[in-house]
Amino acid sequence: MSLDRIHLATKRTIGANQTTKALQQSKVRELFVAKDAEERVTRPLVSAAQERGIPIFWVDSMKQLGKACGIEVGAATAAILED
């Protein structure tokens, strides 16, 4: 399951702002996006990932993504970073 990868990743970002920065720096290997996050937040990240050929994994909810990342709150996006 893809959430296992984000949970076990040693280098990752959590949240739209940190993930945006990592995308701009070409550090993202895989992008995770919550289906229930606001589209205005996720659309730019999804577009940037598609342009760069980065795999995108959709997660059912922000709560589920946050939990997989080890935080108590929901997360709109997260990413596994290059080593």
Structure tokens at 14: 């959590």
Structural domain tally of the chain? 1
The CATH number of whichever domain residue 30 belongs to comes to 3.30.1330.30
Q: Which helix (H) or strand (E) element contains residue 41?
A: helix 39-52
Among the ranges given (3-7, 69-73, 74-78), the one the predictor scored with the smallest mean pLDDT: 3-7
Structure tokens at 75: 């997360």
Structure tokens at 71: 């935080």
pTM: 0.94
pLDDT digits (tens, 9 = 90+) for 21-33: 999 999 999 999 9
Distance CA 23, CA 40 (A): 17
**Owning domain of residue 17:** 2-81
